[in-house]
Structure 1
Amino acid sequence: MGQKQWFWQSKQTGDKTISEENVPVHIAIIMDGNGRWAKKRALPRIAGHNEGMKTVREITRCANRIGVKVLTLYAFSTENWKRPKLEVDFLMKLPEEFLSTFLPELIEENVRIEMIGDMEKLPAHTKRAVQNAIEKTAGNDGLILNFALNYGSRAEIANAVQAIMNDVQSGVLPNCGVSDETISRYLMTSHLPEPDLLIRTSGEHRLSNFMLWQLAYTEFFFTDVLWPDFSEEDLLEAVAAYQKRSRRFGGLS
């Protein structure tokens, strides 16, 4: 049997295809531009966040359909607490709203919910919603929808180093040096493959303290599209661009 292909009409380049042979196993997305989307329409910032939640559903469905195994979404950073309280309070309600609305669909689609970040500092209602979704989808073995929530990569790395030091001092780890593999085992993503493709929306070209260790050899795709406007076509465009690249991981061309 031949490999499966997906066809779509690109706004920029006409008919395009991607194949299932080289779909990224793990896609990470920095979902940026909700506030600017709302401002362009003279709406409050929270309207952009609400619209962005609908995009999460659409992109999750598309990623699952084309065979992506892990989709990590940067939902709320440790730095986002600095935003106005009204906006933060709304953002903390979004996981509950999203999961209560779409959890049955996610379960039906065999999606498993996971989270990286400091859950203990989340509001109780946010924590309950996330924990409930994690528990109810724990038996699913399809796409992993991994929310980076109250997440900061520097804190993750610092915590991993501290945990390694503690385990060396207690004798759990031998005191014979720390390798890349050791640090990777102590990160929140230790059970996941490193991202193959990072997408950032809204025209920004920075990592914003997101998965700094894990993205060492990841392919980057930046787009000017604001997150609420990011469509299935835009995801397929990113995957098509990824499939044209040659990944050498530091080796010769």
Structure 2
Amino acid sequence: MPITLKSAKQIALLREAGQLVRATFDLLRDHVRPGVTTAELDAIAEEFIRSHGAEPVYKGYVPAGRRGPSKIPPFPGTICASINDVICHGIPSKKERLRQGDVIGVDIGLRLNGWIGDACETYPVGDVDDATHHLIEVTKQCLTLGIEQARAGNTLRKIGAVIQQHAESNGFSVVREYTGHGLGRNLHEEPSVLHYDDPRNTQKIMVGMVFTIEPMVNAGKASTRLEADGWTVRTSDGQRSVQFEHTLAITEEGPIILTA
């Protein structure tokens, strides 16, 4: 599938969707505390999104290539709720309560007026230990460094290279299997955005591109393990993982963060 470049008007509509994602995060932040279930967070997010005339795009989602009677069921939640060693795609649950010292990655995708907003934020639950705090801060820095490389004329490789270098220089590792992606009217479009250095990744960044950068940084090994539910992805060694994600649009002046 070719890369679809977006016009200034389309980018403005994508920013409206991105800002509703941001408002949903701002709302959820006050509810992330010990004792709350991930299903409760999911219900709060869904009610807020629908009350603003948008629809959750994760709910009922099945990735291309995973459809059919023998494949996994559609994703059941409005948000992905990924606690501690869950890297991504954690399913909200009435049984899963947040505990003091946890970290939870919340990924939100929605469609507003036909256009997608998508981002991820990791919240500490109360006070976290120093090692977890450092992992959170380094992952935020990885995202910032990646965004700084997202300029017309650069290759996508530069984004992945700077993320990998910063994570590994701090003793962490970067997940390989799950990447950033283009978006627009669809949740997943070209290009794929790797979070590690790959010399084959020679795609030039162009004005009008809209894509996510969403590094998943593990405290231990980069390897992953997919649960039997077909969605939940954990670290293979049980150590913690943290993710932050923004959607950005490439302009002549540089990247605009649509979900900031």
Short-chain TM bin: under 0.3
**Normalising to structure 1: TM-score of the pair?**
0.26
Report 1 or 2 for greater relative contact order, CA contacts < 8 Å, sequence distance ≥ 6. Answer: 1
Largest Rg, 1 or 2: 1
TM norm structure 2: 0.25
